[in-house]
Amino acid sequence: MSKATYPDNWYAIDKALYSRSVRVFSTVKKVLSVKMKLHAETQIQQGDIFLFNHFSRFETFIPQFLIYEQTGAYTCVIGSGEFFKHETVLSRYLQQVGVFPTDHHRLFSLLTAQILRGRKVVIFPEGGMVKDHRVVDDKGNYSIYSRMTGLRRKQHTGAAVLAQGVEAIKIIIRRAYHQKNHTQLVWWKEQLQLGSLDQLLASALKPTLIIPANITFYPIRTSENLMLKAVDFFSDSLSLRHTEELLIEGNIMLKNTDMDIRMGEPLEPFDRRFFGSHYLLQQVMDKAQSVDEIFNLQAHPKDWYQRCLGYYFKKAANATRDQYMEAIYLNVTINLSHLASALIMHLIKHGQAQIERQQFFTTLYIAVKLLQSNASINLHRSLLNPIDYSELINGTGTRFKHFIEEAINTDLISADNTHYHLLPKLLEEHDLDSIRLENMVAVYDNEAKPITQVYETIIHALAESEDVDQQELAAWYFEDECRDLTWEHHAYNKPAYDDINAQETATADANPFFLDPTDSKDNGIGVLLIHGLLASPAELRGYGEYLVKQGYTVMGVRLKGHGSSPYALQNQSWEDWYQSVLRGYKILKAHCKRIFVTGFSTGGALALKLAAEHFPEIIGVSTAALPIKFIDPSFMLVPLLHGTNKLVDWLSSFEGVKPFIENPTEHPDINYRNVPVKCLYELRQLIDKMDDFVPICTMPVLVLQGDNDPVVAFKSAEEIMGKLTCKKQLKVIPSNRHGILMENIGGTWESIDGFMKECVSETNVK
């Protein structure tokens, strides 16, 4: 089928086929490994014309059905005329689901009628796949590479032309309504093939809005995939273009990939007030004999009025095009690969061929923290969730390792024990069909380049990393700990967890706390407080406030999984709890050279492990109600119950025979009322590990134990005293309560005061 044989009108949308296609699309979304996330508030309802960047073929089929899922509005798409050259199953399908060929001689007129019927239109204004994401030159001008001409060109103005034509028609319809020109209204209704004048007027009252949108894939992988292997098996050879597309886009579909679809603020095609009173517009539109004339003002003007209006329209279309293309590119979802790539390209372009690994890590971490406070930058959720980025300062983390491995495997960088070396290939030119395979760093860099604030932040972070303030870093680490709790609440505050969450009564502030004494009272000693199992930092907040008044700097850590939901705790290991302790210690260490550690119950075991591994900074440890032996002998059956749960989970879709047991807590405003069996199993694992680290503790240890503790047997204190080989003291507290530290029963706080002063005196003597 050639351009000349297209019918004047186009095929009606087959609503039944469209609905089936949407259902298939919904099913395919679940099967594929692409996690689509739509970031749009009201734009998807407001918009008429939706514009998307174009990086893969896969994304071409998504916006149309996604908009329908969200709004119920049928959506038309402008597709390449290549699809309609021949009568095929595919061409017939596309015709029936609202795909219009780019080279249809009445394209804009047909789409105008669709919009005025309440339908939406999707356009890819770049006009093709922009594989290299290179859309900005060194001067900041927007343009893209044209495969047809081999040159760079401006993006298409088609969306702007369509929008201003639709809005011009609406202006004249509204004018005719106010002038009670019934004849003209009927004429427009027939031209647009609308069902009634009411439909015509309702459409004319709505402003025509363009919605610029950006699709960002993360991560982008170049490793081989099953799709390529299957095609290669049945084909003698594949062209570079097809090989590249199968590798990149096959990995998008077949491996875990985030697809963020972010919609910008609605744009109007021009100043409606200006054109609404424009004499030229009235003269041209009143004499128009068809909708087609509106879109032919520049190519085939019939008189002076049309020529002048065509000139204004062209000027307005260019301005609108620049506006929506900038909005598209500014709505990219920035991720860690963008930041790392921007840093690498900045360095090598400025003649720096290597960077110390630690400076690289620190620069990226600082950049993340600075960008988090910039509301105008759209950050990928992995740059907002500390579980994904907080270990970046150490050069660890799955996402960072993936990026580095990709860069090393494609010979863009090399690494030794102390430095990353930036290789010359980073600056080599690659054609459109090889750059995604050969230089993914350049692709990520190109994608982020329109957002100048990202580059300014990277440069600032690089300068700051050379002499970073440790207390400033510690403040960011503390912020990450607070942010982590917020993310846990977000993750587990869902209907799926209501069965347990609804039974919880904890209302106390579960955030970690950092208490800094006044300068006049600061004694230079830090105290790290570690709460017990099922509790939160609120358990020791009162004690922390007592300590800071004495001049101590106090850090109260939050053990991972605590203070949010028992379901969160169910997914943590004792090693995760210990990592929380290490992060708290790192924060406190930036302020104090000497640190004392106090842990309650499970926190006591974690305190001893920390002390065993961080001598001589830690000058002493106190543990209260440290759990080794328990009053309830059934606790010994926990490993067996956990093993049964794991077996049931493996054999069926159920969580287990008994994933939670009730906790008759002394402090229902702080502690969970439901105990995950998994966390009791983890506690048992930690207790078993104590034989490895308790004997190697070298600093003084104070053991506090209630004589009638209803949870922890007094034998626990006797056993831990037997395991310790350092200087040690046992303090028996008369109490029939478990929470001796929180409640300061029997002068617990004062007992620790005296012990800490002894530890400080000993270190002063040394």
Burial string for 66-89 (b: 16+ CB within 10 Å, else e) reads bbbeeeeebbbbbbebebbeeeee
The token pair at 116 is 């005025």
Q: How high is the pLDDT of residue 650?
A: 39
CATH assignment of 490-765? 3.40.50.1820
C-alpha neighbours within 13 Å on the C-beta side of residue 575 = 0
pLDDT greater than 60 at residue 276:
no
What pLDDT, on a 0 to 100 scale, did the predictor assign at position 388? 93
Rounded to the nearest integer, the mean pLDDT of the chain is 89
SS3 241: helix
**Of 250, 350, 213, 315, residue with least CA distance to 34:** 250
Q: What is the mean pLDDT of residues 308-337?
A: 91
For the stretch 560-571, pLDDT in tens is: 999 999 999 999
Whole-angstrom CA distances from 336 to 35, 389, 392, 404, 415 are 17, 9, 10, 11, 19
Give residue 272's pLDDT band: very low, low, confident or very high (50, 70, 90): low
**Confidence category of residue 228, pLDDT binned at 50, 70, 90:** low
Give the model's pLDDT for residue 229: 59
Q: Is the pLDDT of residue 597 over 70?
A: yes
pLDDT at residue 244 greater than cutoff 80:
no
Q: How far is CA 679 from CA 340, 571, 639, 641, 686, in A?
A: 37, 8, 10, 12, 10
pLDDT confidence of 658, banded at 50, 70, 90? low
* Sequence spans of domains, the chain: 3-162+204-268+320-330, 336-468, 490-765
The pLDDT, as a whole number, for residue 638 is 57
pTM value is 0.90
Q: Which pLDDT band, with edges at 50, 70 and 90, does 651 fall under?
A: very low
- Tell me the CA distances in angstroms from 113 to 116, 120, 195, one per residue in order: 5, 11, 11
* Per-residue model confidence (pLDDT) at position 255: 79
Check whether 227 has a pLDDT greater than 60.
no
Alpha helices per DSSP H over 439-573: 440-448, 452-465, 470-492, 498-501, 538-548, 566-570
414 conformational bin, left if phi > 0, alpha if psi -120 to 50, beta if neither: beta
Report yes or no: 608 and 623 within 8 Å, Cβ to Cβ: yes
With bands split at pLDDT 50, 70 and 90, how would you rate the model's confidence at 271? low
Q: Read off the pLDDT band of 609 (50, 70, 90).
A: very high
Is the predicted pLDDT of residue 607 greater than 50, yes or no?
Answer: yes
pLDDT band at 544 (very low <50, low <70, confident <90, very high): very high
pLDDT > 60? residue 629:
yes
CB-based contacts of 116, cutoff 8 Å, min separation 6 = 166, 169, 170, 192, 194, 199, 200, 203, 204
Pair 172, 281: CB distance under 8 Å: yes
The string of pLDDT tens digits covering residues 127-176 is 888 989 999 887 788 888 887 777 888 899 999 999 999 988 898 898 88
What phi, psi does 386 have (nearest 5°)? -55, -25
Predicted local distance difference test score (pLDDT) of residue 653: 39
Q: Which of 92-106, 653-667, 692-706 is least confident?
A: 653-667
**pLDDT, tens digit, 9 for 90 and up, residues 211-221:** 999 999 999 88
Is 605 in contact with 599 (CB distance < 8 Å)? Answer: yes
Q: How many other C-beta atoms lie within 10 A of the C-beta of residue 257?
A: 19
Contact 599, 623 (CB under 8 A): yes
Band (pLDDT 50/70/90 cuts) for residue 765 is: low
Residue whose C-alpha is closest to residue 134's, from 304, 354, 341: 341
pLDDT band at 238 (very low <50, low <70, confident <90, very high): low
Please give the average per-residue pLDDT across 724-738, as a whole number: 95
Q: Are 403 and 360 in contact (CB under 8 A)?
A: no
pLDDT at position 596 over 60: yes
- Paired with 354 in beta bridges are 421
pLDDT digits (tens, 9 = 90+) for 440-493: 999 999 999 999 999 999 999 999 999 999 999 999 999 999 999 999 999 999
Exposed (0-12), middle (13-18) or buried (19+): which is 531, by Cβ within 10 Å? Answer: buried
Element at 422 (helix H, strand E): strand 419-422
Region 485-510: mean pLDDT is 96
> pLDDT, tens digit, for every residue of 383-402?
999 999 999 999 988 899 99
More confident residue, 312 or 251: 312
User: What single-letter amino acid sits at 296?
Assistant: N
Tell me: pLDDT of 242 over 90: no
pLDDT category of residue 655 using cuts at 50, 70 and 90: very low
Helices (H) and strands (E) in the chain, counts: 31, 21
CA nearest neighbour of 748 among 511, 507, 516, 540: 540
